[in-house]
Amino acid sequence: MTVPATTTTPPDAAAALQSWHAARFRAVTSATGNLALVETRWLPAGTDPAAEFATALAAAPATVTVTTLSRRNVDTGEPEHGLRFWDSASPAIQAFDTISAFDYNPDWVIEALFTPVATGRTIPFEHIRDNGGSRDLVVPGDITFSRDGVDYSLSAFDDDGTLLLVFGDATNRRSGETATYSSGRFLFVRRSGDGAAGFGDAGPVTLDFNRAFVPPCGFSVQYNCPLPPAQNRFAGAIEAGEREVVFTGGFDIYAL
């Protein structure tokens, strides 16, 4: 079942969106924000992660924060452990200017339906730094709606208790003032009204593409972002949300 796409214009939508953009700027430039990540170091098998963390922390300069992370090996499924280094004085933070964005567009506030699946379901997501490999992520249900006579069924995965939609559209392939980050964008899916917050119940959700955002890999090459699966790729252009990260002085994250 799909629900027709509807558009809404919330009161003070432009002001609310401006506040959201300001919060995004604060987040990406914070001491452990997207722009601060300068190194992701995966530890060799058999290494003691706690000992490596303690050593790295003791040697870190005053501007650097060290954190731990883990994942499954894309080929073997075995656990891997690593360290991340965040520099509050990173070159990317120093060169950051803004995140370009489209103006608020009420046509891209869509009410959709979330339908959970009976058991935990995983879908393979290709990741930007896995050389074509994919990682299975839990997709708790389907997000469906109809727009301009087309039925959509999207897959958003469970990102620490929040549905995260990874999507692509025609703007990813553009250049100029209506282009967006080439690998796709992210969007948190919100429950509508007073519906149940968990993933076990069906109900309405809101896709406010005005709050679509550039993924972490648009700020630092040290991230390994998931790419949009086929069902999350729109043929048309979604001219709403963040577009691209803008740096001063010709700074390029890929040249580091």
> Does residue 109 share a domain with residue 228?
yes
In a domain, 222, yes or no: yes
Final residue of a structural domain among 95, 114, 133:
95
Q: Could you list the residue range(s) of the whole structural domain that residue 229 is in?
A: 13-28+97-247
Note whether 142 and 191 are same-domain residues: yes
Q: Could you tell me if residue 4 is inside a domain?
A: no
In this structure, are 195 and 243 located in the same domain?
Answer: yes
How far, rounded to the nearest angstrom, does the alpha carbon of residue 9 sit from its chain's CA centroid?
25
At 198, the pLDDT band (50, 70, 90 cuts) reads low
Structure-model confidence comparison of residues 118 and 4, the more confident one: 118
Kindly state whether residue 8 falls inside one of the protein's structural domains. no
Q: Is residue 239 part of a domain?
A: yes
**pLDDT confidence of residue 4:** 39
Same-domain pairing of 185 and 124: yes
Predicted confidence (pLDDT) at residue 197 exceeds the cutoff of 70: no
> What is the DSSP code string of 20-62?
HHHHHHHHHTSTTSGGGEEEEEEPPTT--HHHHHHHHHHH--T
In tens, the pLDDT along 60-109 reads 999 999 999 999 998 888 999 999 999 999 999 999 999 999 999 999 99
Longest CA pairwise span in the chain (Å): 59
- Residue 254 within a domain: no
How many independent structural domains does the chain possess? 2
182 & 230 share domain: yes
Query: Does residue 148 form part of some domain?
Result: yes
| Same domain, residue pair 216 and 241 | yes
Residues 104, 176 within the same domain: yes
The verdict on 168 and 120 lying in the same domain is yes
Q: Are 57 and 84 in contact (CB under 8 A)?
A: no
Confidence (pLDDT) at 2? 40
119 shares a domain with 74:
no
- What tokens appear for 189 in the block? 């899916």
Per-residue DSSP letters for the chain?
A: ---B------TTHHHHHHHHHHHHHHHHTSTTSGGGEEEEEEPPTT--HHHHHHHHHHH--TTEEEEEEEEE-TTT--EEEEEEEEETT-HHHHHEEEEEEPPP-GGGEEEEEEEE-SS--EEEEEBTTTTT-EEEEE--EEEEEEETTEEEEE-EEEETTEEEEEEB-GGGG--STT---TT-EEEEEEE-TT--SSSSS-EEEEEEGGG-B--GGGT-TT--PBPPPGGGB-SS----SEEEEEESTT--GGG-
User: With a threshold of 0.85, does the pTM exceed it?
Assistant: yes
